[in-house]
Amino acid sequence: MVAVSVLISPPSVFIQFFKINLWDFLSSQVALWVTIFVSVEAGIASGVGFSLVVLLFRIARPNFHVLRQLKDRPDVFVDSEIGGNFETVSSPHGVLVFRIEESTTFPNSDAFKTWVLDEVYKYTRFGGRPKAANEKLWSDDLEVHIRNLRKAAHGAQSNITDDDLPRLRAIIFDFSAVNSIDTTGLQGLFDLNDLLKDYAGVTDFPETFFEVHFVGIQANVLRILELSGITRPVNPVALGKVEVLDGKDESKNVDHGPSMKVPTGALSLSGGSPFLKEEGLVHLTVRDAIDAVLIRAENWSGVAPSNAEGNNSGSDSDSNSGLKDKTEIHYV
């Protein structure tokens, strides 16, 4: 009894577990009570088994975040749920920024896809042709689902409609916490990309601008995305001294360090970091990704005026978007 007594944790340890993490507290209680009433071996096995179940649950249901820009720090983006502690501003209309805090694998692929779609439904409107009643499945309750999501996000008394929301233009994924991606997670990205294109209106109007961009991708994940074709290979070029080529012999030099040549249209609208137009789907920061979306939308040349005017219903103007008036009519 004297030898074993020093191995028993006092109640303060379990109280600390409870304050710090509920799952750790439950794991300790399972191990403790099974050890007391069964055996030490069974207690150890039950504690380890419970921890494995919790680990699988955390992988299958990771934390997802919608990021918003700090008002005084345009290069810093924080979780919208803690935005009340900071003064934040929303991204340009139709541009949503998401972050996942776990690798995209088969346990969480479907949850990630569902969460992204629900967030898109809350803050943007459908950009394609409305389906007739005979084109829908009898069990299609998407409109009711979207209505309920918007009531929860904007308030039950807001009566928000599609005309009050912008069209979806781009999705930016912050993958800085994604350490790996398997084939199921990769297929989930492809499926999500197709669903988002359909919601943005690309299926009905192929000339509609919509893109998916990535931020902070780790080398092993970037290689998989490149091999899959979801993004193009990125050359390891240091973002440094930029030599702006305007089609003439003379060039305008912007000194940022080592030399790199980019077209004039590939400079950030906000004067921030440059990006390569041909490889503009992968970026170092969220700020670079947003600038890239705005420039690529402005340079998009496939939009027919008649189609753009026909789909320009609702209040979609945004003074913070950085786009010209003509571009706002076409893309926002």
Instruction: Give the closest residue to 189 by CA, choosing from 150, 161, 217.
Output: 217
Contact 183, 191 (CB under 8 A): no
Percent of the chain with pLDDT over 90: 34
pLDDT at position 321 over 60: no
Mean per-residue pLDDT, 271-293: 68
For 155-201, write each residue's pLDDT tens digit.
Answer: 776 778 788 899 999 999 999 999 999 999 999 999 999 999 999 99
Position 264 scores a pLDDT of 36
CB-based burial label for 187 (10 Å; 0-12, 13-18, 19+): middle
What is the pLDDT, as a whole number, of residue 97?
A: 94
Identify the band that residue 130 occupies on the pLDDT scale cut at 50, 70 and 90: confident
Pairing of strands 251-254, 241-245: antiparallel
What is d(CA 125, CA 145) in angstroms, rounded to the nearest whole number? 13
Higher pLDDT, 58 or 313: 58
Could you tell me the two tokens for 68? 């918003």
Greatest alpha-carbon pair distance for the chain in Å reads 89
Range name among 55-69, 75-89, 181-195, 245-259 with the lowest pLDDT average: 245-259
Averaged over 273-280, what is the pLDDT?
Answer: 41
For 68-103, b/e burial (b = at least 16 CB within 10 A) is: bbeeeebebbbeeeebeeeebebbbbbbbbbbbebb
pLDDT of residue 54: 92
- Quick: pLDDT tens for 212-233: 999 999 989 999 988 888 876 6
**Higher-scoring residue by pLDDT: 64, 71:** 64
Class of domain 64-235+289-331: alpha beta
Q: Where are the domains of the chain?
A: 2-60, 64-235+289-331
Q: Kind of pairing, strands 211-215 and 170-174?
A: parallel
